[in-house]
Amino acid sequence: MSVGRVVIVGGGIAGVGTAAALRTGGFDGEVTLVDAGEFPYDRPPLSKDFLTGTRDLKEIALQPPQWYDDQRVRLVNRTAVTALRPRDGAVELADGRLLPADRVVLATGGAAARPPIPGADSDRVHVLRTADDADRLRLALSPGAHILVVGAGLIGAEVASTAVRLGCQVDLVDPVAVPLAPVLGPDLAAWLHGLHAKNHVTTLHASVESFTERSNGIEARLTSSTGPRLYDAVVLGVGMVPCVDLARTAGLDVDRGILVDAGQMTSNPAVLAVGDPARVRDEHRAEHWEAAQQDGARAAATLLGAAPPEPSASWFWTDRHARHIEAVGHMDTASDTVLRGSFDGPSCAVFGLRDGLVVAAASVDDPAAVRAARRLIDRRIPADAARLADPSVKPRDLLRG
């Protein structure tokens, strides 16, 4: 059947990516993008250039303003969708209006997790998911401020690195001794975690038990230390909670995410889900930028009845202490690893191997190694460990065997 009107709920990379892929794929019907914010903007800069204040909101817009006219994408901004009405062929907006929709794409993203630590509701305790969060946090990151970052995964490590660059005194606490080890491999993860100390971030191996507001700051009680520590502000970087309320209320299958098939379709064929909140059964949610964009491309293909884009190993980047890190594939499935270059050299990469194939790679300032690995994984090109380890063999040539 032909689809005339698509309503996309949420203007993150997944929602905007869906709209863009629909038009690129030749979709001729109506595309409406509803977003709660002023206009769709990109999220990765929120912990990087946007947090330092180097780039403003307009500079991190996902699309320039005229793109919406050019592509005939109707942007309904500053508006929340409050309910799905698949049976009425519509979605309901906060002001009670109904938007007609033959198909709905849920691209609602997620919210920053706020674990139930006593005292975590203080104004001095920040999270980072939206531009407003970043604006508020920037004010707290003044030179000399004592900042506690909770969680040394991707966002926590980025915030710690940005805060120290802004002149703050930063403690970074995590109960995991080597964060990101399953993703990057234990050696690279340990080295990267150690990079914090070399850049004047104090890493603490502990959990937070409680926060207490004081007249001159906020006290954090950690499991490891004897006395409480006083901070000007705290940032929680402990993960995200997918926005699944609309899906759940509409009776869709939800289990640690909105369950979708390989074409992003939910348990209701009129509703698709993409990006951070979507989960294919038996897989983990990806929670990375490119994965969200590719969900959008797959959803558009489903709506168009077109062939889905070629699948590719999952990939992400992150930046800390002026180093660019990339990772591809699933390092936790590797039985062997190969190091290319050395950790203390200008760049390095780790390849994860299994059964003679590359299954993962991670790099520091060597993106070409990861781009090569991605193609080795996707094309199932047999791995030659000696060549992978040899920095004189160019990444490009690794594909030539």
Partner 1 sequence: MSSTGIRVAALDDIPEGEGIAIDKAITGTADNIALLRDTDDSVYALDDTCTHETASLADGWVEDGFVECPLHSSKFCLKSGEVQGLPATRNACPHRVEVRDGEVWLFPGEAP
Ligand X SMILES: Cc1cc2nc3c(=O)[nH]c(=O)nc-3n(C[C@H](O)[C@H](O)[C@H](O)COP(=O)(O)OP(=O)(O)OC[C@H]3O[C@@H](n4cnc5c(N)ncnc54)[C@H](O)[C@@H]3O)c2cc1C
- By a kind-dependent CB cut-off of 5 to 8 A, residue 62 interacts, out of ligand X, partner 1, none, with partner 1
| Region binding partner 1 by CB under 8 A among candidate stretches 60-68, 210-218, 249-257, 350-358 | 60-68
Q: Closest CB to ligand X among 51 and 353?
A: 51
Structure tokens at 396: 């490009």
Q: Closest CB to ligand X among 147 and 338?
A: 147
Q: Closest CB to ligand X among 9 and 259?
A: 9
Which H helix or E strand runs over 21? helix 13-24
Q: Closest CB to ligand X among 222 and 286?
A: 286
Q: Closest CB to partner 1 among 20 and 147?
A: 20
Structure tokens at 391: 């920095």
Select the residue interacting with partner 1 from 317, 323, 357, 381 (CB under 8 A): 317
Q: Closest CB to partner 1 among 55 and 85?
A: 55
Select the residue interacting with partner 1 from 196, 221, 285, 371 (CB under 8 A): 371
**Of 204, 214, 78, 230, nearest in space to 152 by CA:** 204
Structure tokens at 254: 């939800």
Q: What angle do CA 329, 333, 334 make, to 5 degrees?
A: 90
Select the residue interacting with partner 1 from 6, 7, 16, 238 (CB under 8 A): 16
- By a kind-dependent CB cut-off of 5 to 8 A, residue 293 interacts, out of ligand X, partner 1, none, with partner 1
**Of 78, 151, 145, 148, nearest in space to 114 by CA:** 151
Helix axes 154-165, 186-198, angle to 10 degrees: 20
**Of 61, 51, 38, 209, nearest in space to 129 by CA:** 51
Q: Confirm or reject binding of residue 156 to ligand X (CB under 6 A).
A: no
For 226, residues 6+ apart whose C-beta sits below 8 A from its C-beta are none
Select the residue interacting with ligand X from 80, 270, 280, 399 (CB under 6 A): 80
| Region binding ligand X by CB under 6 A among candidate stretches 39-47, 118-126, 298-306, 371-379 | 39-47
Task: Compose the 63-82 pattern: x for residues touching partner 1 by CB under 8 A, - for all others.
Answer: xx--x---------------
**Residues from 240 through 279 that contact ligand X (CB under 6 A):** 243, 246, 275-276
Q: Confirm or reject binding of residue 231 to partner 1 (CB under 8 A).
A: no
Neighbour-count burial of 349, counting CB atoms closer than 10 A to its CB (0-12 exposed, 13-18 middle, 19+ buried): buried
The DSSP 8-state label assigned to residue 269 in this structure reads T
Select the residue interacting with partner 1 from 97, 200, 284, 396 (CB under 8 A): 396
**Residues from 324 through 363 that contact ligand X (CB under 6 A):** none
157 contacts 172 by C-beta, under 8 angstroms: yes
**Residues from 204 through 243 that contact ligand X (CB under 6 A):** 243
Select the residue interacting with partner 1 from 25, 175, 367, 391 (CB under 8 A): 367
3-state SS assignment for residue 57 = coil
Select the residue interacting with partner 1 from 6, 8, 19, 62 (CB under 8 A): 62
What is the rounded CA–CA span in Å between residue 190 and residue 149?
18
Neighbour-count burial of 87, counting CB atoms closer than 10 A to its CB (0-12 exposed, 13-18 middle, 19+ buried): exposed
Q: Confirm or reject binding of residue 32 to partner 1 (CB under 8 A).
A: no
Instruction: Give me the helices (H) in 101-147, please.
Output: 131-140
Q: Closest CB to partner 1 among 179 and 395?
A: 395
State the nearest-atom distance from the C-beta of 63 to partner 1, in Å. Answer: 6
What is the rounded CA–CA span in Å between residue 360 and residue 315?
10
What is the rounded CA–CA span in Å between residue 254 and residue 244?
7
- Residues written for the chain: 401
What is the rounded CA–CA span in Å between residue 182 and residue 275?
22
Select the residue interacting with partner 1 from 30, 187, 219, 290 (CB under 8 A): 290
Q: Confirm or reject binding of residue 165 to ligand X (CB under 6 A).
A: no
State the nearest-atom distance from the C-beta of 400 to partner 1, in Å. Answer: 9
**Of 350, 368, 348, nearest in space to 359 by CA:** 350
Q: Which residues bind ligand X (CB under 6 A)?
A: 9-15, 34-37, 43-44, 46-47, 80-81, 107-110, 128-129, 155, 243, 246, 275-276, 287-290, 292, 316-318
Q: Which residues bind partner 1 (CB under 8 A)?
A: 13, 16-17, 20, 42, 44, 49, 62-64, 67, 289-290, 293, 315, 317, 324, 367-368, 371, 394, 396
